[in-house]
Amino acid sequence: MKAKGVNRVIIAVKDIDEATKRYSDLLGISFWDAGIQEEYGVHASVSWEGGLELIMPLDSNSAIAKYLDRHGEGLYGVAFKVTDIDRAATAAKDKNVRITGEIDEDQSGRFHMYRELVLHPADTGGILMLLVQTKPK
């Protein structure tokens, strides 16, 4: 497996509307409201052009809320592009890196294919890493 660059940087925030405005104004980028994602306990806003995803916890019991309590707002994770997600999964497992989640969906029609693996931070030097393979429309 060889990473092909950064897909996006993920930032944990307390207020999605305020953060979206802040980064939009600062970086001159637009965001797409990815909405509430119950299964992950977040509300997300994504700028594909800026390579940035903002995530806000839905409640105080979510993993993101606990992260914000411990670390405050800021960098939560980095998603790297790969050309073959299945080979990337095999390579991660061969290196004893745990895969803690997998996403396989169309991302609201923006992609023909979108697959993502979440790697355990304890196996990646304390950083939440994601591996992403996409086929844009």
Q: What average pLDDT does the chain have?
A: 91
Pairing of strands 32-37, 74-81: unpaired
Domains of the chain: 6-136 (3.10.180.10)
- pLDDT, tens only, 46-99: 999 999 999 999 999 998 999 999 999 999 999 999 999 999 999 999 999 999
The kind and range of the H/E element at 42 are strand 42-47
CB 92, CB 131: distance < 8 Å? yes
State if pTM tops 0.95: no
The residue that leads in pLDDT, 38 or 65, is 65
